[in-house]
């Protein structure tokens, strides 16, 4: 490095930066919704559908989150943050009879399928104070042990270094409920069967709660719940809020809050068409009635029907769209359009409504992308626009490719 002084101006030569902007980055999406189990209001990163099923349970008929996650990975997505939210869900509790009271263990994650059990033994312990505790999570599908934690030489004395209340702070299964008993819990071993540990199940079953409201999805800034749980994530590119329940569309309050949050985080919001929009004109009128004109929203019409769906209902495809955008960015970059071979929807998905040329033009003018056409035998997304088209201030960002490229560059710097 050399320095030169010229009329009071110092010129310093520095080495070139070794972190150039990536042309093809791995786009990350975030989904928020209701699940059978899993941590509440805590973003969990997963990279395949099997990981979702292991951590959050299988596809659940009371939630549209599972199908959206499945769509995401089927359409090429790889990195996904899941935020589980619930409305009045209840945790399961285990009660262990103890000397001087009852040791109550509360499951950390609420839900009816969070099956936790515990066993107590005194193996290797000579005093009458300490005990060993084994915790297990049982898979609801197979009945096999999915997770296990073993804690040795615990005590209920708070001043002890092996205090159970402190030890279980590291547990991913339970927490100890106060007040604690004066003495240790009774051993659950069965001497007649080679001192085998007998596990104690729930004294109170967990509960899934009731259907989500828009306010459950939005959450609280102060408590980092709902949308604001994503503050725990350094970065994400796409946000999708699946409808909170069947026949229950995402409301204006949730859409507006999500759009504002995406604007703050430099991300795009994927917005589903409402269930009641059965024609192109109804979709246009619906968007106008929403009063939204944002370059950070990508919307589409119509919904899609899956060939393997016995009910043949028109369902949202926001998860599939998120997966396709991630796949596009990885292979060609965000400056390319989805309307090309290799980026069609899964062959089992077909548009629920036929759209003619005039209707397609009307939708695109309003900032709504059109699911139509068959490229390589698959439906594709046509239009490549954002909902900023009707906004005079952000008209330059009416192009989806322009907006996403600008966000990609800004977030990479």
Supply the pLDDT for residue 408: 85
Query: Beta-carbon neighbour count of residue 265 at 10 Å?
Result: 19
CA-to-CA dists, residue 251 to 8, 235, 255, 361, 366, angstroms: 61, 25, 6, 26, 20
CA proximity to 303, closest of 247, 371, 369: 371
Beta strands in 41-192 (DSSP E): 44-46, 79-84, 93-98, 101-107, 115-121, 131-138, 145-154, 174-177, 189-190
Asked if residues 152 and 132 have their Cβ atoms less than 8 Å apart, the reply is: yes
Q: What pLDDT does residue 17 have?
A: 47
Sequence ranges of the chain with CATH classification 3.40.50.11780: 28-87+212-412
Mean pLDDT, range 188-206, rounded to an integer: 78
For domain 28-87+212-412, the CATH class is alpha beta
Question: Per the confidence metrics, is the pTM higher than 0.85?
Answer: yes
Q: What is the pLDDT of residues 305-357, one digit of tens each?
A: 998 888 889 999 999 999 999 999 999 988 888 888 888 999 999 999 889 99
Distance CA 207, CA 91 (A): 7
Q: Provide the H-helix boundaries in 112-189.
A: 164-167
pLDDT tens digits, 145-188: 989 999 999 999 999 999 999 999 999 999 999 999 999 999 99
SS3 assignment, position 195: coil
Q: How far apart are alpha carbons 70 and 58 in whole angstroms?
A: 10
Could you report the per-residue pLDDT of 347-398, keeping only the tens digit for each? Answer: 999 999 889 999 999 999 999 999 987 666 789 998 899 998 655 555 667 8
- Report strand pairing: 297-301 vs 189-190: unpaired
The rounded distance, in Å, linking the Cα atoms of 252 and 180 is 46
Does residue 274 carry a pLDDT above 90? yes
pLDDT in tens, 59-113: 998 999 999 999 999 999 999 999 999 999 999 999 999 998 999 999 999 999 9
Residue range 2-10: average pLDDT?
A: 51
Greater pLDDT, 323 or 399: 323
Chain segment 82-93, per-residue pLDDT in tens: 999 999 999 999
Other beta carbons within 10 angstroms of residue 57's beta carbon come to: 24
Mean pLDDT of the chain: 89
Question: Which helix (H) or strand (E) segment is 350 a member of?
Answer: strand 349-351
What was the pLDDT predicted at 309? Answer: 86
At residue 20, does pLDDT exceed 50?
no
3-state secondary structure of 196: strand
Q: What's the whole-number mean pLDDT along residues 254-265?
A: 95
The H or E element spanning position 28 is strand 28-33
């Amino acid at each position: 490095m050399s320095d030169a002084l010229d009329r009071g101006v110092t010129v310093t030569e520095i080495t070139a930066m070794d972190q150039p902007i990536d042309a093809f980055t791995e786009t990350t999406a975030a989904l928020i919704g209701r699940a059978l189990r899993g941590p509440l209001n805590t973003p969990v990163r997963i990279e395949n559908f099997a990981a979702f099923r292991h951590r959050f349970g299988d596809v659940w008929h009371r939630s549209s989150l599972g199908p959206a996650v499945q769509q995401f990975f089927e359409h090429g997505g790889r990195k996904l943050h899941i935020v589980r939210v619930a409305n009045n869900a209840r945790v399961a509790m285990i009660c262990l009879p103890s000397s001087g009271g009852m040791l109550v263990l509360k499951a950390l994650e609420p839900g009816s399928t969070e099956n936790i059990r515990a066993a107590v033994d005194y193996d290797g312990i000579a005093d009458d104070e300490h005990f060993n505790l084994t915790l297990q999570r049982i898979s609801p599908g197979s009945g096999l042990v999915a997770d296990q934690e073993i804690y040795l030489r615990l005590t209920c004395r708070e001043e002890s270094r092996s205090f159970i209340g402190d030890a279980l702070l590291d547990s991913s299964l339970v927490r100890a409920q106060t007040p604690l008993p004066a003495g240790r819990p009774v051993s659950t071993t069965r001497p007649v069967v080679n001192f085998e540990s007998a596990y104690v199940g729930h004294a109170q079953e967990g509960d899934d709660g009731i259907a989500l409201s828009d306010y459950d999805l939005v959450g609280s800034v102060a408590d980092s719940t709902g949308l604001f749980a994503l503050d725990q994530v350094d970065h994400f590119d796409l946000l999708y809020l699946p409808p909170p329940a069947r026949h229950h569309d995402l409301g204006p309050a949730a859409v507006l809050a999500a759009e504002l949050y995406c604007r703050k985080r430099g991300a795009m919001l994927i917005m589903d068409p409402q269930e009641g929009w059965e024609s192109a004109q109804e979709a246009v009128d619906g968007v106008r009635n929403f009063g939204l004109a944002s370059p950070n929203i990508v919307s589409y019409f119509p919904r899609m029907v899956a060939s393997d769906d016995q009910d043949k209902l028109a369902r949202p495809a926001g998860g599939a769209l998120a997966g396709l955008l991630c796949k596009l960015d990885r292979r060609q970059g965000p400056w390319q359009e989805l309307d090309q071979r290799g980026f069609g929807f899964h062959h089992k998905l077909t548009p629920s409504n036929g759209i003619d040329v005039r209707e397609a033009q009307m939708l695109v003018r309003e900032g709504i992308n059109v699911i139509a056409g068959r490229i390589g035998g698959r439906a594709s997304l046509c239009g490549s626009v954002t909902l900023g088209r009707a906004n005079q201030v952000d008209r330059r960002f009416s192009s989806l490719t322009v907006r996403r490229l600008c966000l990609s560059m800004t977030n990479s710097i």
